Amino acid sequence: MSKRKIRIGMVGYQFMGKAHSNAYRQAPRFFDMDWEPELAVLCGRTEGSLRAAAEKFGWQETETDWRRLVERKDIDLIDVSAPGNLHAPISIAAAENGKMVWCEKPLANTLGEAVAMKEAVDRAGVFHAIFHNYRYCPAVQLARKMIEDGVLGRIYHFRAVYLQDWIADPSFPLVWRLDKTIAGSGAHGDIAAHIIDLARFLVGEFEEVCGHLETFIKQRPKLAATDDRLGGVASSEMGEVTVDDASMFLARFESGAIGTFEATRFAVGRKNHNRFEINGSGGSIVFNLERMNELEFYNANDSAEHRGFQLIQTTDSVHPFASAYWPVGHIIGYEHTFINLVADGFSRMSRGENPTPSFEDGVRNQAILDAVERSSGSRRWEKVSIDQP
């Protein structure tokens, strides 16, 4: 059977654009896919660096206007890897032009935008997905299977942290991620969104939250020049920081479990520390992204003399996605989470199924982000609801 080529137009070519480009190219090399991505058009505002990125990442053409891109008849799928303020307009326009839409997280800058995006893809009847790539670590997939199989029994606790330190220096410049009009929020939407999605994926829906957002550095040097690694060159002029530096909240799940969440860019010494622990009546599991091929498991049913946390190496062919790569013990890395997500999503679409996570997940995650932000302002518990107050 001949394979169907899905011609992709991607908006954005820096950090996430690089990760997505690699995933589209590599997925068919490791997985047997009936639908295969074709890197057709890369879109960005700066023509010189855009052309350089297209050549480096393997895109056929470039375009400087996303509006022209979404109207092209020869494009099947629009990948939205632009800053958050562009997620809604690009995604909605792409859906209205009959394109499949895959979008970076968080889905939008506001809950209202996220709902409008979901309504747009529903009206158009197009496939849609959101890049919560950490679901696609083999260890996280194994954790979900263990929970579904009842290995942990009744779930009591979900506790998660996502700790970074890349803006802890007060002289770090005012990049777009620190501007609420562009990014929507700071650590809250950027990295708390990931542990929120993992919690929903593993434990289920949230009922209510009680949270606090904090901005430690109120002013920073304005940006003189950007780079492709989250940073840039500072100028001598100062500007206001309009997003949070840290987010923390308590949660109650619909299942009766409770949770704690902390996300910060001021955990000095922590570079990308995404860790969760789940405690149930039958045992506990622990995951740490910085050791992403491992899952710790405590089995409460072990004999007293053998009881203790065991380390599961999720590189054996019996583990999710592992059989596509290397012999047992030969680890995979960050980029493979995107490859796994693309391979799974394209396989689902070829079967007529929508990928997961979807815009529905994006909306539900956004509702939690919204409730935490409301709680930080009201100083009380807030219900999680897709219906805005």
Same domain for 158 and 124, yes or no, is no
Asked if residue 360 is part of any domain, the answer here is no
In a domain, 222, yes or no: yes
The reply to whether 47 falls in a domain is yes
Task: Clarify whether residues 271 and 250 are in a common domain.
Answer: yes
The total domain count for the chain is 2
Name the pLDDT band for 1 (thresholds 50, 70, 90).
Answer: low
Say if 359 falls within a structural domain.
no
Same domain? 199 vs 306 = yes
Q: Are residues 162 and 58 in the same domain?
A: no
221 and 317 both lie in a single domain? yes
Do 317 and 274 share a structural domain? yes
Q: Which CATH number is 193's domain given? A: 3.30.360.10
Tell me: do 173 and 299 sit in the same domain. yes
Q: What pLDDT, in 10s, does the model give residues 153-187? A: 999 999 999 999 999 999 999 999 999 999 999 99
119/165 same-domain check: no
Same domain, 105 and 48: yes
Confidence of residue 228 (pLDDT cuts 50, 70, 90): low
* Tokens linked to 145: 């299977």
pLDDT tens-digit profile of 339-380?
Answer: 999 999 999 999 999 999 999 999 999 999 999 999 999 999
- Rg of the chain over CA atoms, in angstroms? 21
Domain-located, residue 386: no
What is this structure's pTM?
Answer: 0.96
Task: Give Cα 213 distance to the centre of its chain.
Answer: 20
- Kindly state whether residues 297 and 323 are assigned to the same domain: yes
Question: Which of 114, 133, 152 is the last residue before a domain boundary?
Answer: 133
Give yes or no: residues 146 and 30 share one domain.
no
Among the listed residues 357, 160, 140, the one whose alpha carbon sits nearest the alpha carbon of residue 247: 160
Indicate whether 91 belongs to any domain.
yes
Domain boundary among 85, 103, 133: 133
Per DSSP bridges, beta strands 273-280 and 283-288 are antiparallel
Question: Residue 11's domain spans which residues?
Answer: 4-133
Instruction: Assess whether pLDDT exceeds 80 at residue 2.
Output: no
217 and 92 within one domain: no
Quick one: pLDDT band at residue 387, thresholds 50, 70, 90? confident
Q: Is residue 349 in a domain?
A: no
How do residues 262-275 score in pLDDT, each as one tens digit? Answer: 999 999 999 999 99
CB 322 within 8 A of CB 94: no
Supply 56's token pair. 């480096």
Q: For residue 100, give the CATH number of its domain.
A: 3.40.50.720
Report yes or no on 339 lying in a domain. Answer: no
Contact residues for 14 (Cβ-Cβ < 8 A; gap 6+): 81, 226, 228
Single out the residue in 118, 133, 148 at which a domain terminates: 133
The rounded distance, in Å, linking the Cα atoms of 222 and 82 is 20
